[in-house]
Amino acid sequence: MESKGIDPPALDKKPEIPNYILEYVEAFYHLSARRTIGYSSENPISVSDIDAFLNRHPTDDLVLFEYLMIEMDNAYLVLRSKKPVKVENTDG
């Protein structure tokens, strides 16, 4: 049974990912799933995980790939470290 509902407004603002960046985003998702969890937060993606990924999925520009993975990971960790905003229920 399919449920019907209202799409959250955030989906209206969802950015389109250009095709030339898609392989990096997919690699980041793969690597992010392998990250470890510390005592109070998620750890950065390890360089050894990036190297292992590159051994199985070679790329023409190793420096660019590693730079993008580290920058995406830094942005992800910053977003995850922020406290969630409490949304007030405005329904009567």
Using pLDDT thresholds of 50, 70 and 90, give the confidence band for residue 90. Answer: low
1: pLDDT strictly greater than 70: no
Contact 65, 27 (CB under 8 A): yes
Number of domains in the chain: 1
Tokens of 21: 């960046």
Residue 85 included in any domain: no
Please state the rounded mean pLDDT for residues 22-39: 94
Residue 26 included in any domain: yes
For 51, the domain range is 17-80
Residue 12 included in any domain: no
Query: Pick from 57, 61, 31, 59: which is nearest to 44 by CA?
Result: 31
Residue 58 included in any domain: yes
pTM of the model as a whole: 0.72
